[in-house]
Chains A and B, each alone.
Chain A
């Protein structure tokens, strides 16, 4: 399988990465090189094989449903580009 220019633009949008029109052919070439490389997986007989979901067979540990951390709003927002009263600020989303 290979991707065309329209697909490259669609993937870029899904990934929320702005791609300038002049970058599309170059990206298309790179993505197609990678897709050509992974094409060989088609040779492997995978019928009846379980897909891997956990590389180390183990039961996930659960913790008690209690609050054991918190009250650190200052730290939570400390690295944010824009905040107000412990809220993250973003461009207006509702008119």
Chain B
């Protein structure tokens, strides 16, 4: 029998339907892979008993012909999603051994459709990071290595555990979240596919909040088709999240492979950065030529406020974070460090519970919202955000269906290599992805090639609001042209 962990979700679905293997066999194969790959530190909690129980239930339902669209498909869940009675920490010490008495809407929809949970995946603390190095459980290791080198590389972040686990076949797909690039950047670093849907497409209920006006959940998987399959289950209106949109969820898989003939693809000139590497430049023009060969029309477009997206983000996101994270006070859940007064208890708890990156962002957020600075920083950033969104609206109004950009300015880097002295060095990783969150748009990262050291690189496609379908169609063209990339196993 072929190695069950090498299958795509689409292939596994058909194997289960044909009874070539059972859901329990599929889950057991992944549990074994997960155990054998602990050196990657992708999972922060393994839930094998839970997984086997869910797989058995899937087998019973499949036998009765009642299996849902994801029946028996083993998934990893980012530790930002609350899972009922299963420890959820956001990879922060401050949540301690938090056991949610409820299930996030997105994960509950995956279980409704028959998926199996293998465990909880590592991420940057409160999703704040671009390398998964800020997790209280330690760094995640990228299954990819530079050719001829054993240096451990980051998988990107904040959904580093999700990307690493999917790339190393420790699950068939994973949930992830994206506030400034946290799905797309790790997907690009690991040769996986990741989509951040339009703001409002997936419910945020039960997901640990970072910056509520930017956070969106989405899937990471090994193919465009697999992410489309997962998206259909994850998306949908939820009365418990007032920002979730009441729109029917399309059959995303149906548009994978659909012709892109006649589509207008924008190439934004502002994304051609000074000092951009020749490899990224080449990847980008190759991607454009693949879309052209598939019948799309390329047009140069301008998004004049692009360079201001990252600085505006580093005001808006920390401001929202400082407000959201005020809830961690040592009273209702999580860590408590005693003090002589209630105020001192708050201060001690938060000093001990938050890591350096989270503390830094809370402090910046507190500063930009404080009396006398609000107008100069926060209000100005929100105005700039309006202009960033307008850039995209103008572009789409001219008939552009989607925009093609590189996903990241470089391939994966070494653990400990970046951001040690100046935090901004790390933040620049999200330069191509953050505009999309600021404008609330959907964006997909698709593997497109390798750099000279053999590391994967990805392209990003940005779509109109609620037009994820176009991204799946275009993403499939890139995947068909570029092929798929699998890391060779060393672990």
Binding site for B on A (CB under 8 A): 1, 3, 7-8, 11-19, 27, 30-31, 33-35, 37-44, 46, 49-56, 58, 60-61, 63, 72, 75-82, 88, 90-93
Interface residue? B345 (CB, 8 A)? yes
Q: Which residue of B lies closest to A47 (CB)?
A: B383
Q: Which residues of A contact B370 (CB under 8 A)?
A: 11, 14
A-B contact pairs, 23 of them (CB 8 A): A16-B346, A16-B347, A33-B424, A35-B364, A37-B310, A41-B381, A41-B384, A43-B308, A44-B305, A44-B308, A44-B380, A46-B383, A54-B213, A55-B440, A72-B101, A79-B98, A79-B334, A80-B333, A81-B334, A81-B336, A88-B332, A91-B341, A92-B342
Q: Which of B339, B346, B360, B386 contacts A30 (CB 8 A)?
A: B360
Interface residue? B382 (CB, 8 A)? yes
Q: Do A15 and B381 touch across chains, with their CB atoms under 8 A apart?
A: no
* Distance, CA A72 to CA B100, complexed state (A): 13
Q: Which residues of A contact B348 (CB under 8 A)?
A: 18
17 new A-B contacts at CB < 8 Å, known A44-B308, A80-B333, A81-B330:
A11-B370, A15-B366, A31-B364, A35-B364, A38-B314, A40-B307, A41-B312, A41-B381, A50-B383, A52-B386, A56-B199, A56-B245, A61-B239, A79-B333, A82-B336, A88-B331, A91-B338
Q: Which of B334, B339, B366 contacts A91 (CB 8 A)?
A: B339
Q: Which residue of A lies closest to B95 (CB)?
A: A79
Q: Which residues of A contact B376 (CB under 8 A)?
A: 1
Q: Which residue of B lies closest to A14 (CB)?
A: B366
Q: Mark B357-392, 1 if CB is under 8 A from A, else 0.
A: 001101110110010010011011111111101000
Binding site for A on B (CB under 8 A): 98-99, 101, 198-200, 213, 239, 242-243, 245-246, 305, 307-308, 310-312, 314-315, 322, 326, 329-336, 338-348, 350-351, 354, 359-360, 362-364, 366-367, 370, 373, 376-377, 379-387, 389, 422-424, 427, 438-440, 465
Q: Which residues of A contact B340 (CB under 8 A)?
A: 91
Q: Which residues of B contact A40 (CB under 8 A)?
A: 307-308, 311
**Residue from the set B305, B331, B376, B383 with the largest chain A CB neighbour count within 10 Å:** B383
Q: Which residues of B contact A7 (CB under 8 A)?
A: 367
Smallest distance from the beta carbon of B344 to chain A beta carbons, Å? 8
Q: Do B382 and A33 touch across chains, with their CB atoms under 8 A apart?
A: no
Q: Do B387 and A55 touch across chains, with their CB atoms under 8 A apart?
A: no
Q: Which of B243, B342, B351, B381 contacts A19 (CB 8 A)?
A: B351
Q: Do A15 and B363 touch across chains, with their CB atoms under 8 A apart?
A: yes
Smallest distance from the beta carbon of A5 to chain B beta carbons, Å? 13
* Distance, CA A13 to CA B384, complexed state (A): 29
* Distance, CA A21 to CA B167, complexed state (A): 44
* Distance, CA A32 to CA B246, complexed state (A): 42
Q: Which of B308, B350, B373 contacts A18 (CB 8 A)?
A: B350
Q: Which residues of B contact A27 (CB under 8 A)?
A: 360, 363
Q: Do A17 and B312 touch across chains, with their CB atoms under 8 A apart?
A: no
Q: Which residue of B lies closest to A79 (CB)?
A: B333
Smallest distance from the beta carbon of A34 to chain B beta carbons, Å? 5
* Distance, CA A88 to CA B329, complexed state (A): 12
Q: Do B345 and A91 touch across chains, with their CB atoms under 8 A apart?
A: yes
Q: Which residues of A contact B366 (CB under 8 A)?
A: 11, 14-15
Q: Do B384 and A31 touch across chains, with their CB atoms under 8 A apart?
A: no
* Distance, CA A58 to CA B213, complexed state (A): 13
Q: Which residues of B contact A19 (CB under 8 A)?
A: 351
Q: Do B383 and A78 touch across chains, with their CB atoms under 8 A apart?
A: no
* Distance, CA A92 to CA B387, complexed state (A): 49
Q: Do B362 and A38 touch across chains, with their CB atoms under 8 A apart?
A: no
Q: Which residue of B lies closest to A26 (CB)?
A: B356
